[in-house]
Amino acid sequence: MLASLGDPYTRFLSPAEFSKMGRYDVSGIGINLREIPDENGEVKLKVLGLLLDGPAYSAGVRQGDELLSVNGEDVKGKSAFEVSSLLQGPNETFVTIKVKHGNCGPVHSIEVQRQLVARTPVFYRLEQIENSTASVGYIRLREFNALARKDLVIAMKRLQDRGASYFILDLRDNLGGLVQAGIEISKLFLNEGEKVIYTVGRDPQYQNTIVADSAPLVKAPVIVLVNNKTASASEIVASALHDNCRAVLVGERTFGKGLIQSVFELHDGSGVVVTVGKYVTPNHTDINGNGIEPDYQNFPGWSDVKKHLSECNINQQG
């Protein structure tokens, strides 16, 4: 019945699919591991990111810690995938991990209780700019779920507190999710009154101009990383920051999905997603079917970013 509408994005959701739109559960301790070679060529497993206020973070594990063992088993020579499997287990059971803080820091044995936790789509870390005292706050946003805005605010505040002078918002491979979350996240970077997006539809209720309604959370220069799988809510954020001279876009042309969809729950817990309109960027670009062209294909220097944003602001004011 829905296929007869001829819109590939109007679709049916099973009860399981519908419930996942607002809730994501995983069983584990909430750490993201990365294999990093040391000066001797040996591979170490470092904690690249943590679930905000997840079990490992609450137990004292920190970004940059080296993982040495899991339940007494040395992880030397094991891949991040293998060790992640060791960390998983039934909900509310315990796992003992041994970590080293920093390169020369103390070794700690930490008992962590596995929990069913709401899965944050936000991963972040602070990075030092080479040959500079300035720091960059890197934030990867994997999807726009019910936790996206709240956890992004936490990440941005923590990175600011740790001295971030610039920000990178990584939206690569982010296919979207809850569009309202994308709109609210856009507002975090914009001045009051600046346009987030225009909505266009046959029904007057979908013809609207959405603007930011408060001061921005951060004013530092931003790079938004995009690729051909950056879509929907991600494109709203990317275009809002770009068109308001708050960020430069780096990477590939985005996917081009700028449709407005309403979600309706049915009596058995399933749902339908129906297209009711489309989005147009603050600079009046139709996203749908077109995508957004980035400013740079390769990563620019921060001096180039500041110059680009300054010229953008001058052109807008002129």
Q: Tell me the C-alpha distance between 97 and 82, whole Å.
A: 15
Residues 208-247: b if buried by 16+ CB within 10 A, e if exposed: eebebeeebebebbbbbbbbeebbbbbbbbbbbbbbbbbb
Q: Alpha-carbon distance 133 to 156, whole Å?
A: 19
Would the CA dihedral through 209, 262, 151, 251 be positive or negative? Answer: negative
Distance between CA 286 and CA 276 in Å, rounded? 15
Decide if 79 is catalytic: no
Helical spans, DSSP H, in 116-250: 148-161, 179-187, 233-243
User: Which residues, 6+ apart, have CB-to-CB distance to 316 below 8 Å?
Assistant: 245
* Closest listed residue to residue 64, CA positions, set 27, 40, 31, 94: 31
CA 172, CA 274: separation in Å to the nearest integer?
25
Q: In the structure encoding, which two tokens stand for residue 265, read together?
A: 């729950």
Task: Quote the CA–CA distance of 184 and 200 in Å, as a whole number.
Answer: 19
What are the structure tokens assigned to 62, written together? 């920190």
Given 98, 187, 195, 257, the catalytic residue: 257
Structure tokens at 71: 């339940």
End-to-end CA distance of the chain: 52
Q: Pick the catalytic residue from 46, 78, 232, 239.
A: 232
Rounded Cα distance between 204 and 301, Å, is 44
Catalytic residues: 232, 257
